[in-house]
């Protein structure tokens, strides 16, 4: 078997190679490409049986047609989300598509907490000030989290983990989900989205990006949020209408915004643009707010999660190769 891995950063290679050498070195050859999978780069997978992609590799019909014409039959997503692949087209072509549905949900939940804590206590600003010899506290005022209300939108694996952590802080938890789980009851109570928005001091998004959730946070839903609330998004950038968020920051209805994801992140994230003139004016406007913290989609980025991603990705390929039932086969599930 030959596998082409796209958007392969040095750390992807390191963790995939550890599992490859330990378990599959006889049966598998892996080619690593640092660039994303596109209609142009798909040709580089010509002699391969499978491709492996990440969150910003977009698998359109054109890309998949090309892969199919080169004899590729398996697409391995080394992530949980699958909003970047047209599953209907993949099904028509008969592709095997598998993801890594759960790789340390705690890693992402803990990162959401890092965003909350940093924004709330302004440690990002304090870090810079103290390095400059400025020990003034003005502008660094935070709030005690104990007793505050945290609204979790999407109480799946990551949302539940966040609820558990914030319960430990002494927060009151509200949840909203289209599929409720009794597991949430030990942390808080389910309410309608409007009630969650109007009551929460912190709203954290953990639902997937789908047509129905695109721009879930928009001008109208922002107007329902408690004035002075904090908004955290570690899920997918498309959940927010970024322009509406900017307007809410400008009129000070939001106290702070912590983002690990951005709707138009693909051309920016995972590479160094420090010498470029960034052309995305919406992103650049976000960067001007002192109460906005943006990270480059790194919630998953822990040693434990990368080990798990590598193991499950190559195990999914092993199942495909050997015709075994694969529990992560997205084509066998309804979406």
Looking at the annotation, which residues are catalytic?
Answer: 236, 265
Contact 55, 81 (CB under 8 A): yes
Contact 158, 332 (CB under 8 A): no
Q: Give the x-and-dash track for 62-101 against ligand NAD (CB under 6 A).
A: ------------------xx--------------------
Provide φ and ψ at 252, rounded to 5°. 65, 25
How far apart CA 42 and CA 70 sit, in angstroms, is: 9
Provide φ and ψ at 77, rounded to 5°. -90, 120
Q: Comparing C-alpha atoms, which of 41, 31, 27, 39 is closest to residue 8? A: 31
Q: Which is nearer to ligand NAD, 45 or 99 (CB)?
A: 99
Residue 234 as a binder of ligand NAD (CB under 6 A): the answer is: yes
Contacts of 127 (CB under 8 A, 6+ apart): none
Q: Which of 207, 245, 248, 293 binds ligand NAD (CB under 6 A)?
A: 207
Q: Give least dist CB 240 to ligand NAD, A.
A: 13
Residue 105 as a binder of ligand NAD (CB under 6 A): the answer is: yes
Q: What stretches of 75-104 show up as alpha helix (H) in DSSP?
A: 87-93
Q: Give the x-and-dash track for 253-292 against ligand NAD (CB under 6 A).
A: -------xx-------------------------------
Q: Give least dist CB 98 to ligand NAD, A.
A: 15
Bridge partners for 212 per DSSP: none
Q: Which is nearer to ligand NAD, 250 or 333 (CB)?
A: 333
- Residues 122-181 interacting with ligand NAD (rule: CB under 6 A): 153-159, 176-179
Positive or negative, the CA dihedral 83, 7, 71, 22 is negative
Give the residues lining the site for ligand NAD (CB under 6 A).
Answer: 80-81, 102, 105, 108, 153-159, 176-179, 206-209, 212-213, 234-236, 260-261, 297, 299-300
């Amino acid at each position: 078997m030959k596998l082409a891995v796209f958007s392969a950063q040095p750390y992807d290679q390191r963790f995939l190679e550890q599992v490859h050498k330990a378990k599959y070195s006889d049966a598998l050859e892996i080619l690593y490409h640092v660039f994303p999978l596109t209609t142009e780069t798909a040709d580089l997978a010509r002699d391969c049986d499978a491709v492996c992609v990440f969150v910003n590799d977009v698998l359109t019909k054109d890309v998949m047609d090309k892969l199919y014409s080169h004899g590729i039959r398996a697409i391995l997503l080394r992530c949980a989300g699958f909003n970047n692949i047209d599953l209907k087209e993949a099904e028509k072509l008969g592709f095997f598509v598998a993801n890594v549905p759960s790789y340390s949900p705690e890693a992402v939940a803990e990162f959401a907490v890092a965003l909350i804590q940093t924004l709330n206590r302004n440690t990002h600003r304090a870090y810079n000030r103290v390095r400059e010899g400025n020990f003034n506290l003005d502008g660094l005022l935070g709030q005690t989290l104990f007793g505050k209300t945290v609204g979790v939108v999407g109480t799946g694996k990551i949302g539940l983990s966040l609820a558990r952590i914030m319960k430990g802080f002494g927060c009151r938890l509200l949840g909203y989900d289209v599929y409720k789980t009794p597991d949430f009851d030990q942390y808080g109570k389910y309410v309608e989205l409007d009630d969650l928005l109007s009551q929460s001091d912190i709203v954290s998004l953990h639902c997937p990006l789908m047509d129905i959730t695109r721009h879930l946070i928009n001008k109208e839903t922002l107007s329902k949020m408690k004035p002075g609330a904090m908004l955290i998004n570690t899920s997918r950038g498309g959940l927010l209408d970024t322009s509406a968020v900017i307007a809410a920051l400008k009129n000070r209805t939001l106290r702070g915004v912590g983002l690990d994801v951005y709707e138009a992140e693909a051309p920016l994230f995972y590479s160094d643009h420090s010498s470029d003139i960034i052309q995305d004016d919406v992103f650049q406007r976000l960067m001007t707010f002192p109460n906005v913290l943006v990270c480059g989609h790194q919630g998953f980025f822990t040693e434990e999660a990368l080990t798990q991603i590598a193991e499950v990705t190559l195990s999914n390929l092993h199942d495909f190769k050997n015709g075994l039932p694969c529990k992560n086969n997205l084509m066998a599930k309804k979406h």
